Chain A
């Protein structure tokens, strides 16, 4: 079965097992390796991407669910790394090993799209599914607020 999906604005036609998780279609078939595998069970958020603007965990989303829809990955978040979140992430030195950060950014971007002035509680809720073993959480909160122009009291 062939699946048609727009990935980062580019129309793609994929001839793969429709049950293949979107994660592996992106990484292994399309070569978009910015989306990461961390658990395969929707427990860590490393694979977070947008499906029609909503966050999904690509590791548990069969590619057939993306048929006829629009997927955005970290590679498509901005043309040049200039999304306010990406800029804030670099300026505040958020990443440590960096492995979880594309997932964190995709979830944060979906949050800002819905709620341009988030509170700490909003951030904690939206990023609850994203683990960071390196422990960058306090900088993530600060960077989301910086990107949103919300003053950080700490």
Chain B
């Protein structure tokens, strides 16, 4: 495709910010009426059949991206779906970022849901505009709409004799009623010209020139920058503080105390004391000069090492059943052999490269926020609460996100900015330092699991028991949570296809002592790690090749029914099981392909040590093989990686590949180095010195990605690549060293 990505890049983004930049202020008010004039720009009519697609009289098509861009490439993907349905030329499409508003439906950019959740609805928004433009042309030519087709930014009469550009049709189209959803026909998939092809990266030029606008890059006149001293322990509070020395730092203007949060923590800030200054450096120095006496509160007793032992205790005893078929106890008691293993994975921090940051202005009865938020509507709700205003008086502008991984779904940093802006009476940008980010995160759950399998005399598995215990995310939102419920096991426990007659999954108690939040692929991280490792352990115990064992335990290609899984319902990431069944065939296929691609069968001959794992999550299936070697100083390293992903229908293959590559690196970081620990309730790590991430020299020499071509309903992409990575590494490490790592991160046991 020869189209120039630069045509629709940065200018559009700034417009999307609703900022007055160089006199350009396109207020994209999300109203639903077919006709609306753009205020102060021109009086020509504009076709606005819905809040997502607008066609101007000059032919310019504006498409609203309602999901946040955080590196997954949604701004390069979603508008293309709408444009293809419409028949628009991307060179004449402008992409505008939506503000937080319920009119767009769900905007929470998590759960790998942006494409999978709304693919059909998005298509309908474009198809609606197309239907109206086609109807206008048909009327003009006095023919039936069926005799016309929309493509290349125009409507053509099928005889090929006549055509009218979209812009030329707007004046007529706005006079037509907006058709009902049922009356709008979607194109056959084959007519979506660009979907599934190599698409340009919309914001690429802005990223490489430093012009991309992230959270900390928006500036308002009179703005102050705040850096906050937060209590070292969540739930702690300020007893008293002395701001004298802080206020003496040149550039420091104000020192303000933030409200202490009450349980449950929800999206409240941590409380603490904020130093507001003319620049970030002065605010940081001012914070250093604060004298604060803290009271740590009840979470002071939290010691993550003791907690680890308690979690392991919890899975050694029977828990509450979440999935059950057959009689596991009997099968285990009569087994010729029982294979057992316990696994532990620690808390993790999201550590997006851009730490949390938000800018707020509260003045004249309105509140405006600029923030890199994954969840603009939650941010709007929190901002309204803090500002004491109705939500319709609050505008949340979404900047680009310098990574999110779930951290920026939480609105706590927005709440801080709004509170400070309101109290200080000037616009305030709250800037989190990296230390703040690592110490005051919504942490990924620590977890313990125990897996047991019974084998008969021939070595065939007859029983499978999976126990898991971890503090649940719901504990951040509700007071009465004592551990996971069945729903939390949806991720990698309930939806695991097993060709074993007796299966049970149980969950143990685990009280949360820190704020727990969702991190890229969430509970799938530890469930994928334990299941993927245990499959390999089982293979070795049985003396069967790990690939053959995995395929055998998953069983034949089939859609696994809820009854076979042994559950009454499957949460299934909010999707109906009929449209997105647990498909053992798709899981098998990614295993077969990834082992073929990586030369699995010839690995001994080629002198390679490979590890394999596969996992279903967010309705997609991913198989991973990694090759491990030892470097000159005896450290194990991931030398090469192969990924096969079946995400159903794929809109933007290059971004899917990029997400898989990124998942390998993300999974390597958490498998090899990632660990957050707490002593006396406070996080012990603070920056990349002690919260280590994979660096370029540790990256594999190549990551090969293969996408299964499919017309199945789209699955998730941003998260499903992560879960199989840690077990594939651990399995390869076993092949390399003979050491089985049952506690993450690996570096605790083996030099990596």
Question: Do A and B actually bind?
Answer: yes
Query: Is A66 close to B, CB under 8 A?
Result: no
Chain B residues near A140: list those with CB within 8 A: 696
B1 at the interface (CB under 8 A from A): no
A89 — which chain B residues lie within 8 A by C-beta? 204, 207-208
| Partner among B201, B654, B696 whose Cβ is within 8 Å of the Cβ of A137 | B696
Contact with A along B435-456 (1 / 0, CB 8 A): 0000000000000000000000
Q: A36-B353, A134-B403 are in contact. Are A99 and B214 (CB under 8 A)?
A: yes
Contact partner of A96 among B71, B694, B696, B702, CB < 8 A? Answer: B71
Q: Annotate B174-218 by CB proximity to A: 1 below 8 A, 0 otherwise.
A: 000000000000000000000000000101111111111110110
A102 to B353, CA, bound (A): 12
B426 within 8 A of A: no
Name the contact of B203 in the complex, choosing from A24, A38, A95, A137 (C-beta under 8 A).
A95
Stretch at the interface among B544-552, B554-562, B657-665: B657-665
A98 vs B70: C-alpha distance when bound (angstroms): 9
Give the size of the chain A interface in residues (CB under 8 angstroms): 61
Check B201–A131 contact: CB distance below 8 A.
no
Interface hits, A122-154 → B, CB 8 Å: 123-125, 127-128, 130-141, 154
Q: Which A residues lie within 8 Å of B400 (CB)?
A: 97-98
**B209 and A138 within 8 A (CB):** no
A residues less than 8 Å from B687 (CB atoms)? 39-41, 43
A90→B693 contact, CB < 8 A: no
A98 CB, min distance to chain B CBs, angstroms: 3
Most buried by A among B201, B214, B664: B201
Residues in chain B near residue A77, CB distance under 8 A? 209
Check B203–A133 contact: CB distance below 8 A: no
| A5 at interface by CB-CB < 8 Å | no
* Contact across chains for A133 and B403 when beta carbons are under 8 A apart: yes
Q: Report A24-60 CB contacts with B as 1/0, cut-off 8 Å.
A: 1001110111111111110110100000000000000
Tell me what chain A mostly uses at the interface: helix, strand, loop, or mixed.
loop
Asked if A113 lies at the interface with its beta carbon under 8 angstroms from chain B, I say: no
Determine whether the beta carbon of A138 is less than 8 Å from that of B353.
no
Q: Name which of A96, A101, A132, A141 has the most chain B CB atoms within 10 A of its CB.
A: A96
Instruction: Please name all residues of chain B whose beta carbon is closer than 8 Å to the beta carbon of A74 when the two chains form the complex.
Output: 208-210
Interface contact B353-A44, CB-CB below 8 Å: yes
Cα A40 to Cα B432 in complex, Å, equals: 11
Given contacts A99-B403, A125-B697, contact A90 B201 (CB under 8 A): yes
Q: Is the CB of B207 within 8 A of A98?
A: yes
B281 within 8 A of A: yes
| Residue of A31, A85, A86, A134 with most chain B CB atoms under a 10 A cut-off | A134
CA distance A138 to B702 in the complex (A): 6
- Complex: A140 Cα to B353 Cα, angstroms: 16
Question: CA–CA, A46 to B278, complex, Å?
Answer: 23
CB distance from A15 to the nearest CB of B (A): 11
Closest residue of chain B to A75, judged by CB?
A: B210
A28-B280, A41-B434, A81-B208 given as contacts; is B354 within 8 A of A138 (CB)?
no
Q: CB < 8 Å: which of A95, A128, A131 contacts B688? A: A131
Cα(A140)–Cα(B405), bound, Å: 21
**B411: which A residues are within 8 A, CB to CB?**
none
Report yes or no: A99 in contact with B689, Cβ–Cβ below 8 A. no
Of B251, B353, B654, which contacts A132 at CB under 8 A? B353
Counting chain A CB atoms within 10 Å of each CB, the highest count among B216, B431, B697 belongs to B697
Q: Which residues of B contact A124 (CB under 8 A)?
A: 696-697
- Tell me the complex Cα distance, A132–B354, Å: 11
Residues of chain B lying within 8 A (CB to CB) of residue A68: none
Instruction: Give the docked Cα–Cα distance between A94 and B204 (Å).
Output: 8
Kindly report which residue of chain A lies nearest to residue B70, judged by CB atoms.
Answer: A97
- The answer to whether A95 touches B662 (Cβ under 8 A) is no
- A105 at the binding interface (Cβ < 8 Å): yes
A86 to B664, CA, bound (A): 25
Is there an interface contact between A99 and B281, defined as CB atoms closer than 8 Å?
A: no
List of B residues within 8 angstroms of A134 by Cβ: 71, 353, 403, 662, 665-666
Interface size class of B (residues with CB under 8 A): 35 or more
Q: For B282, what are the chain A residues with a Cβ–Cβ distance below 8 Å? A: 17
Interface string of B397-421 (1 = CB under 8 A from A): 0001111110000000000000000
Nearest-CB distance from B126 to chain A (Å)?
A: 24
Q: Specify the chain A residue showing the minimal Cβ separation from B198.
A: A93
Contact pattern, B 640-664, Cβ under 8 Å of A = 1, otherwise 0 = 0000000000000011001101111
A 77-94 binary contact with B (CB < 8 Å = 1; else 0): 110010001100110011
Whole-angstrom CA separation of A56 from B710 in the bound complex: 47
User: What residues of chain A lie closer than 8 Å to B69, measured between beta carbons?
Assistant: 97
In the complex, chain A residues whose CB is within 8 Å of the CB of B654: 93
Whole-angstrom CA separation of A10 from B212 in the bound complex: 22
Are A24 and B280 interface neighbours, CB within 8 A?
yes
Q: Are A135 and B204 in contact (CB under 8 A)?
A: no
Residue in B73, B251, B654, B688 with the greatest tally of chain A CB atoms within 10 Å:
B688
B204 near A136: Cβ-Cβ < 8 Å: no
Distance of A135 Cα from B658 Cα, bound (Å):
9
Contact of B661 among A90, A128, A138 (CB under 8 A): A138
Q: Is the pair A135, B353 in contact by a Cβ cutoff of 8 Å? A: no
Residue in chain A with minimal CB distance to B662: A135
Closest to A81 in B: B209
CB of B225 within 8 Å of the partner chain: yes
Asked if B5 is an interface residue, CB under 8 A from chain A, the answer is yes
Interchain CA distance A40-B203 in the complex, whole Å: 26
A101→B702 CA distance, assembly (Å): 20
Which residue of A is nearest B201, CB measured? A93
Distance, CA A66 to CA B260, complexed state (A): 42
A41 with B689: CB separation less than 8 A: yes
Per the 8 Å Cβ criterion, residues 328-382 of B in contact with A are: 351-355
**In the complex, chain B residues whose CB is within 8 Å of the CB of A7:** none
| A27 cross-chain contacts in B, Cβ below 8 A | 216, 280
B210: contacting residue among A34, A96, A131, CB under 8 A:
A34
Assess the B353–A131 pair: CB atoms within 8 A.
Answer: yes
Contact A98 B71 (CB under 8 A): yes
Shortest B178–chain A CB gap in Å is 36
Looking at the assembled complex, report how far the CB atom of A66 sits from the nearest CB atom of chain B, in whole angstroms. Answer: 14
Q: Are A133 and B351 in contact (CB-based, < 8 A)?
A: yes
Would you call A118 an interface residue if the criterion is a C-beta within 8 Å of the partner chain's C-beta atoms? Answer: no
State whether A33 touches B281 (Cβ < 8 A).
no
- Jot down 18 A-B pairs with beta carbons below 8 A, ordered by A: A17-B250, A27-B280, A37-B355, A40-B687, A74-B208, A86-B205, A86-B209, A89-B207, A95-B204, A97-B353, A101-B208, A120-B701, A132-B696, A133-B353, A134-B666, A137-B696, A139-B661, A141-B696
For the A-B complex with A97-B69, A98-B206, A138-B703 known, give 20 more contacts whose Cβ atoms are closer than 8 Å. A20-B281, A33-B213, A41-B689, A74-B209, A86-B205, A89-B204, A89-B208, A95-B201, A95-B203, A95-B208, A97-B71, A98-B71, A98-B208, A100-B402, A102-B208, A130-B696, A131-B688, A132-B696, A137-B665, A138-B661
Residue numbers of A with Cβ under 8 A of B are 17, 20-21, 24, 27-29, 31-41, 43-44, 46, 73-75, 77-78, 81, 85-86, 89-90, 93-102, 105, 120, 123-125, 127-128, 130-141, 154
Interface pairs A-B: 7 shortest CB-CB = A34-B210, A135-B665, A99-B402, A97-B71, A98-B207, A96-B71, A74-B210
